[in-house]
Structure 1
Amino acid sequence: MTQALHIVGGGMAGSEAAWQAAKMGVDVVIHEMRPTVGTFAHQTGNLAEMVCSNSFRSDDDEQNAVGLLHWEMRAANGLIMTTADAHRLPAGGALAVDRDPFAEAVTAKLRAHPRITVTDEEVTSLPDDGQWIFATGPLTSAKLGEAIQAETGSDALAFFDAIAPIVYAESIDMSKAWMQSRYDKGETEEERTAYLNCPMDRDQYEAFIDALLAADKTEFHEGETAGYFDGCLPIEVMSERGRETLRHGPMKPVGLTNPHQPDVKPHAVVQLRRDNALGTLFNIVGFQTKMKYGAQAEVFRMIPGLENASFARLGGIHRNTFINSPTLLDAQMRLKSKPNIRFAGQITGVEGYVESAAMGLLAGRMAAAEILGRTLPEVPQDSAMGALIHHITGGAEAKTFQPMNVNFGLFRPVDGLKGGRRGRKDRYKAYTDRAKAEWTEWLAQS
């Protein structure tokens, strides 16, 4: 009888790791501290709960690196992608999901698997024996964080992550707002109207920026000097970088026409994306915030169409910890000082739901293979999976290591395209064609 694989953390990475290992014939125990021990951001005890956005970002597998990662995970029969597809919401070219049914479905599938056991207990130490994967994510508990710090002999790196608010659809004034995806992206009418838009003229925008800058904000405790992840900056931080920053970011007015005033071009536009299948909830896109709750309601109700907005959830900010993976992990994602332990997900320094699940997929397969006495071929570096794992286990500069989304900057140049001899579209297509071929071959050999 083979030994069991223990996975600490039932988020995107832990859930995917468990699924992959169980499918390979290994018994798995998921140790998830929720709901016995809660966190600031989680609302339920479900596995794979989405605590920030409900989007897995672009689903374009030919021109976008995260879309390519979607493709690779689907090719590997990934649980997260399969479930996301089943609970997909209209979102133009993005893959957005109905967050609660999605998490409920992942939880049901894992609990129903005959090789998987789920326990609601907090693990606070790093075991000396057995095969373990730690996928505790950005909200690793304080006790476990201390154990990791004691083992690695270095301080855990950290940054602050922010959450965007969610609005009840019935409280939005549709005489001012309208439904439209930017540039009318999407194949169906439902997809082309996946976003709700609130326009601002110049005076409204300037007043909004003034209010953002003046609002009461959450202050960090003494000694908390971590920075922000650039892909999830609070809107106040963006506005502090310049008054036009938001107009060229989440509030850019391009690709949209206001049907209430078709001849008037908005100075800025706030977009909200559907957050559930019923269309009763919308999250404010790109509006992660560290404003205090009272200030949030006051400032966000300055947005035309949201004057009487009712919030299902206000935004917030939390500390996000990760390890210096290039220094601490080997190519198999094992902790060098304790090779019976692997790390996966955001705690390794990848950023995003998809990237976290992808590293869980690899960690689960690697751990299962080791338990079964098999050796998996090296993950091809020119795949999206390979580019990510190479980055976190040695490709990144350890002294300046920061969380990273998958992007084509992590990919090796394609022969004949180096130096930009062709356009970006051709270059990205070459990256994805090469990645798909190498990933397909790796799966066949694994």
Structure 2
Amino acid sequence: MGTTGVAVVEGAASEGRAMDLLRFTTAGSVDDGKSTLIGRLLYDTKSLFTDQLAAVEAASAAKGDEYTNLALLTDGLRAEREQGITIDVAYRYFATPRRKFIVADTPGHIQYTRNMVTGASTADLALILVDARKGLVEQSRRHAFLCSLLRVPHLVLCVNKMDLVDWSQKAFERISDEFTAFAAKLEVPDLAVVPVSALHGDNIVARSEHTPWYEGPALLHHLERVHIASDRNLVDVRFPVQYVIRPQSTTITDYRGYAGQVASGVLKPGDEVVVLPSGLTSQIAGIETADGPVAEAYPPMSVTVRLTDEIDVSRGDLICRPNNGPAVAQGIEAMICWMDEATPLRPGATYAIKHTTRTARAVIRELHYRLDVNSLHRDEAATELGLNEIGRVRMRTTVPLLADEYRRNRTTGGFILIDETTNRTIAAGMIVDTN
């Protein structure tokens, strides 16, 4: 099963590069150059419309800049975000002959940590920018820790504004060594460090002559070639049912399909499966997409699965393999990132919980500790979590969740909490354990 899935995913990537998609997020403190870096990637990969570039050139000239200020490509949305408008994360799209990219541009201010969590939660890779003059700051460590907590598999530290420190190898190595030492305390499986000047384009698309001492690839070369196919869990089959399809047609009387997105594993017709929480077993009769039947499905494909038996399956159920299923549990241990400005998280409070396609209510039984993301110190005397704070909690849900640990599966291990009064998303959670 597992080897077949790997072959299919890697085959798709090699046969048609357009199928290969890398999601990455930017992180870093204010004015470290995130917007300029994204603008440079868009500009140098020729991913801008002529009118977009003309507008940026005109705006740069109006401001008196002696250069085309590529940061203006994303700063329009950033200004809206920081005024409280609901565009929390700006997404940009570009492509090269080798790969497609989706960039989540997140704000650097500390009060927008929650937005950084939103951007990183689905990312394959995170770019953390550091100003070469300032070195690591609190936000650099905060964002690195959050990327580790959110299990972002690949991290790239971009030491930006190297032109302002005269391309000093010593300055670069000092920051690289300090960050590498901090990352060693975290769970960072893959780390690369690149000296760049986003403003001038050095080491962004092509190697720079200003850094003959740097032996690594340019940033885009690394982004194009970082291996992400093996990051996907192709062993544990998890298929949360989102919708039951029963066509209301006189010509189709016996069709029953279960639509959703494959969270992990590989599904094929003929596979034995079990439906949770009922425990009823069946076989996969067929798998269909919008383009017709397929021989197998793997993450993140959206498909409709048909079973050979007419059994009771509804939204919120989960299809998996016999003897390899998630925990069916109401007791949850989780790390929580609190996102609500109005009220803090306190033990005893009840919220709505959204986990895969299942919705329930959850009560916070205990706050074990609040985590200082800079020192990684655990404050076990904490009684609440405020905006952007992170802590470990124990909670109980009204109905069982079909859950894995977040480290094993980011989809079935993640959830959000919702304020039932305002319907606002107030927390993101990562399951540590079930009981």
TM > 0.5 between the two? no
Q: Normalising TM by the smaller chain, what interval? A: under 0.3
> What TM-score results when the alignment is normalised by the length of structure 2?
0.26
> What TM-score results when the alignment is normalised by the length of structure 1?
0.25
Query: Is the radius of gyration larger for structure 1 or structure 2?
Result: 2
Q: Which has the higher helix share?
A: 1
Q: Which has the higher strand share?
A: 2
Q: Which has the higher contact order (CA 8 A, sep 6+)?
A: 1
